[in-house]
Amino acid sequence: MSDLLRQLVLAACLAVALPAWAHDAPPAASAAPVGAAAVAGQVAIGGAVTQPLTLDAAALRQFPADQIVDLRLPGRDAGAPPSVLRGVRLRALLERAQVKTADHNTVKKLAVIASASDGYKVVFSWSELFNSELGDSVLVLFERDGKPLAPAEGPLALISGKDIRTGPRHVKWLQTVEVRQIVE
């Protein structure tokens, strides 16, 4: 198993094992940016793409209406009303960035890694995002209950709304999304 594949498997295991509160705090002022385009309030889409993107909440709101999704999550406390999250499908962002593929089999070898400003990372396969119902509800969030996200969640976040437990793949303070080929 290659070192990169080993690291991705470890990152995926940690994402599932860590409780959702493990990265609740906003990033420290001294946190180093993950990439050159990493700026607070923006997400940089890069890696194996032909059109790298840097987007903020205003840019996400400009996506076509059919790519902006409302996701209802049950209230955390008994009797609490459901929370309505609004965001753009990660799949739509990757389509706009134009994922690089040498041939039709390349996509089977791609991983998409979403990272928070505090280093928290989650992993998706290309097939999860583009070839299953799960991809319909992996969202880059910019709004909760009709308002900008709370400071604890960051200006942008990512959630996998069809996961049985949404916490492990809820990336607060989303900063980068990177497409990587994980096997040759």
Residue-level pLDDT at 151: 94
Centre a 10 Å sphere on the Cβ of residue 82 and count the other Cβ atoms it contains.
11
Residue-wise pLDDT tens digits, 110-137: 999 999 999 999 999 999 999 999 999 9
| Predicted local distance difference test score (pLDDT) of residue 130 | 94
18-41 pLDDT, tens digit each? 443 344 433 333 233 334 445 679
Enclosing domain of residue 7:
3-20+37-181
- Listed residue (7, 15, 17, 3) closest to 116, CA to CA: 15
84 belongs to a structural domain = yes
pLDDT of residue 125: 95
CATH number at residue 51: 3.90.420.10
Residue 157 lies in a domain: yes
pLDDT confidence of residue 11: 45
Q: Regarding beta strands 138-144 and 157-160, do their DSSP bridges make them parallel or antiparallel, or are they unpaired?
A: antiparallel
Decide if 28 is inside a domain: no
Residue 162 within any structural domain of the chain: yes
- Judge whether 77 lies within some domain: yes
In this prediction, residue 74 carries a pLDDT of 78
In a domain, 31, yes or no: no
Per the CB < 8 A criterion, the answer to whether 180 and 49 are in contact is no
- The total of structural domains in the chain comes to 1
Give the pLDDT of residue 19.
40
User: DSSP code of 113?
Assistant: E
27 occurs within a structural domain: no
Q: Is the residue at 80 inside a domain?
A: yes
Mean pLDDT by 10 residues, the chain (184 residues): 43 41 38 46 96 97 93 76 92 96 87 96 95 94 95 95 90 97 85
pLDDT, residue 29, reads 32
pTM: 0.77
Question: CA-CA distance, 151 to 154, in Å (whole number)?
Answer: 5
